[in-house]
């Protein structure tokens, strides 16, 4: 009994000593503040603040011969969908990419009379070296650490945010359910309907330096409003031949100041939103940086069925031609899940009017997928997509694919895929070209042993001679 009391007393003394030492450093080992605020994960608490720390490191290495490209689909204002093509010139070397992406995020939270008050700081690094035919070119942010987010925020049901961060613009509820191949226009539109603020300068620049306010109205409805891109980011050059605008330089200042408004809804098996943005407001002058965009989407779930519809419309001003342009992009998708299999069908279309007043040809496409669980841990998927180029004489594009996913163990998964890309012949009045196709096969072995760690190795081989071997590894913590 005396020995037990001595041991317990020693442990207690050690604990009090440690706590006292931590208190001298201004840090408490108690997590009472974090508990009171309902915060968890990797945290450090003081007497008034809870600091949450999260981060991730990702590495990817690609090696092979794949840096050429061939257009399978030519969307009218979003650009081409390309497949890889090898470089077969004499004396060329292999291609490779080596990329490390990492970030650290710190969120300091304290209570206030208006709700949780937060300061958020996220730093990241994207160090990437690309090599084409043995010639290395370093891109992205190189070895520099970048402040990706730095903002303050306060509130609970009504929240005020100011600083540097992403946009409140909601561009969800628009991805097609046939995920094996997707859709051609959707792939170019950042997987969905066009919402990328860097899509050839045709949409308002968002995020960056912001002042944002959102409020929970109730019954699943949230309203948001914000001023974004107050740091005048997003300048560039429109090249000759752009389908919507004349060739010209667009400054960051002409795009500065984007007003964003959003209504979000979630409830009763339905998620929906409507987002609007008007850019180029700060200079008070009508310039080529002035543009607008509307993005809306809805997803409804009924037992085993899901239905989704999305639409993006927008436009802007062309100062060279002293005229406006506009565009639209719509998508519908449906999915049915049963005990052993699922079916997904999708359709899309896009068009617009150039600043010359000429209407763009309407592009459209379809896609579908059938999936089945044939045995425990084994799944097969068969799918395809088709693209109709509205330009007279330009051939249509397509892809057909079959996929096998096998869970070899609880932590190891094997994915294999075979398929073919194709493009029909181009005829007059387009530049005449023969039909082409390219068969491919790829496989990936993924390992997720736990602890937030994941890794994979995969390879792709194409009929045209292109090939690529890819290794990935990642670990996140919070």
* Concatenated DSSP letters of 71-100: EEEEETTTEEEEEEE---STT---EEEEEE
Residue ranges making up the domain that contains 14: 1-30
What's the average model confidence in pLDDT over 58-78? Answer: 93
Q: Is 267 among the domain residues?
A: no
Per-residue pLDDT band at 220 (split at 50, 70, 90): very high
Strand pairing category for 412-423 and 221-228: unpaired
Is residue 378's pLDDT more than 80?
yes
DSSP 29: S
Residue 142, pLDDT score? 60
What's the average model confidence in pLDDT over 173-201? Answer: 92
Strand pairing category for 323-337 and 305-318: antiparallel
Q: Is 14 among the domain residues?
A: yes
Residue 399, pLDDT score? 98
Per-residue pLDDT band at 143 (split at 50, 70, 90): low
Instruction: Please give the residue that has the higher pLDDT: either 258 or 14.
Output: 258
Measured distance CA(321)–CA(39) in Å, rounded = 55
Are 78 and 124 within 8 A, CB to CB? no
Helix (H) or strand (E) holding 112: none
| 121 Cβ contact list (under 8 Å, min separation 6) | 105, 106, 147, 149, 150
DSSP 67: B
Measured distance CA(33)–CA(421) in Å, rounded = 57
Q: Is 164 among the domain residues?
A: no
Helix (H) or strand (E) holding 55: strand 50-65
SS3 for 200-225 is CCCCCCCCEEEEEEEEEEECCEEEEE
Are 459 and 445 within 8 A, CB to CB? no
Place of tokens 């041991």: 7
Per-residue pLDDT band at 339 (split at 50, 70, 90): confident
| 15 Cβ contact list (under 8 Å, min separation 6) | none
115-139 burial, b if ≥16 CB within 10 A, otherwise e? ebbbbbbbbbbbbbebbbeeeeeee
Domain count, the chain: 1
Per-residue pLDDT band at 196 (split at 50, 70, 90): confident
What's the average model confidence in pLDDT over 437-455? Answer: 97
Q: Is 37 among the domain residues?
A: no
Residue 102, pLDDT score? 96
Residue 197, pLDDT score? 76
SS3 for 350-410 is EEEECCCCCECCCEEEEEEEEEEEEECCEEEEEEEEEEECCCCCCCCEEEEEEEEEEECCC
Q: Is 250 among the domain residues?
A: no
What's the average model confidence in pLDDT over 386-415? Answer: 96
Is residue 357's pLDDT more than 70?
yes
What's the average model confidence in pLDDT over 148-172? Answer: 97
Is residue 30's pLDDT more than 50?
no
Residue 199, pLDDT score? 78
DSSP 157: S
Residue 297, pLDDT score? 98
Span 418-434, pLDDT tens digits: 999 999 999 999 899 99
**Of the candidates 50, 168, 59, 5, which has an alpha carbon nearest to the alpha carbon of residue 474?**
59
**Of the candidates 466, 385, 354, which has an alpha carbon nearest to the alpha carbon of residue 65?**
466
Per-residue pLDDT band at 141 (split at 50, 70, 90): low
Span 36-49, pLDDT tens digits: 888 988 999 988 99
Per-residue pLDDT band at 447 (split at 50, 70, 90): very high
What's the average model confidence in pLDDT over 171-195? Answer: 96
């Amino acid at each position: 009994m005396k020995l037990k009391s001595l041991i317990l007393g020693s442990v207690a003394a050690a604990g009090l000593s440690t706590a006292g030492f931590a208190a001298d450093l201004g840090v408490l080992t108690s997590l009472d503040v974090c508990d009171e605020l309902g915060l968890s994960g990797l945290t450090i608490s003081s007497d008034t603040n809870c600091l949450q720390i999260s981060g991730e490191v990702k590495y990817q290495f690609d090696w092979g011969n794949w840096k050429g490209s061939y257009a399978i689909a030519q969307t009218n204002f979003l650009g081409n969908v390309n497949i890889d093509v090898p470089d077969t010139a004499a004396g060329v070397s292999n291609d490779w990419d080596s990329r490390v992406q990492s970030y650290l995020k710190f969120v300091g939270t304290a209570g206030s009379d208006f709700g949780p008050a937060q300061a958020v700081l996220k730093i990241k690094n994207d160090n990437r070296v690309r090599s084409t035919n043995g010639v290395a070119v370093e891109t992205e942010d190189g070895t520099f650490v970048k402040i990706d987010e730095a903002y303050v925020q306060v509130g609970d049901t009504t929240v005020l945010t100011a600083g540097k961060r992403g946009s409140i613009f909601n561009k969800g509820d628009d991805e097609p359910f046939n995920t094996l191949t997707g859709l051609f226009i959707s792939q170019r539109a950042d997987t969905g309907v066009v919402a990328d603020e860097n899509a050839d300068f045709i949409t308002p620049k968002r995020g960056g330096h912001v002042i944002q306010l959102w409020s929970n109205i109730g019954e699943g409805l949230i309203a948001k409003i914000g001023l974004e891109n107050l740091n005048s980011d997003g300048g560039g050059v429109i090249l000759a031949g752009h389908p919507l605008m004349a060739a010209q330089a667009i400054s960051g200042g002409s795009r500065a100041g984007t007003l964003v408004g959003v209504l979000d809804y979630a409830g009763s098996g339905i998620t929906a939103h409507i987002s609007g943005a008007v850019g180029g407001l700060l200079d008070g002058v009508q310039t080529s940086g002035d543009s607008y965009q509307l993005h809306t989407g809805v997803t409804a779930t009924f037992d085993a069925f899901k239905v989704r519809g999305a639409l993006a419309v927008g436009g802007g001003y062309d100062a060279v031609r002293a005229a406006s342009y506009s565009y639209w992009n719509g998508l519908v998708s449906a999915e049915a899940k049963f005990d052993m299999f699922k079916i997904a069908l999708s359709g899309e279309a896009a068009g617009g009017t150039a600043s010359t007043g000429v209407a763009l040809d309407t592009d459209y496409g379809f896609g579908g997928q059938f999936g089945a669980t044939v045995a425990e841990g084994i799944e097969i998927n068969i799918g395809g997509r088709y693209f109709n180029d509205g330009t007279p004489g330009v051939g249509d594009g397509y892809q057909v694919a079959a996929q096998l996913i096998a869970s070899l163990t609880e932590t190891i998964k094997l994915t294999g895929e075979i398929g073919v890309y194709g493009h029909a012949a181009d005829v007059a009045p387009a530049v005449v070209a023969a039909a082409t196709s390219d068969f491919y096969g790829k496989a990936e072995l993924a390992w997720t042993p736990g602890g937030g760690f994941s890794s994979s190795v995969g390879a792709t081989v194409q009929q045209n001679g292109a090939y690529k071997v890819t290794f990935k590894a990642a670990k996140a913590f919070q």
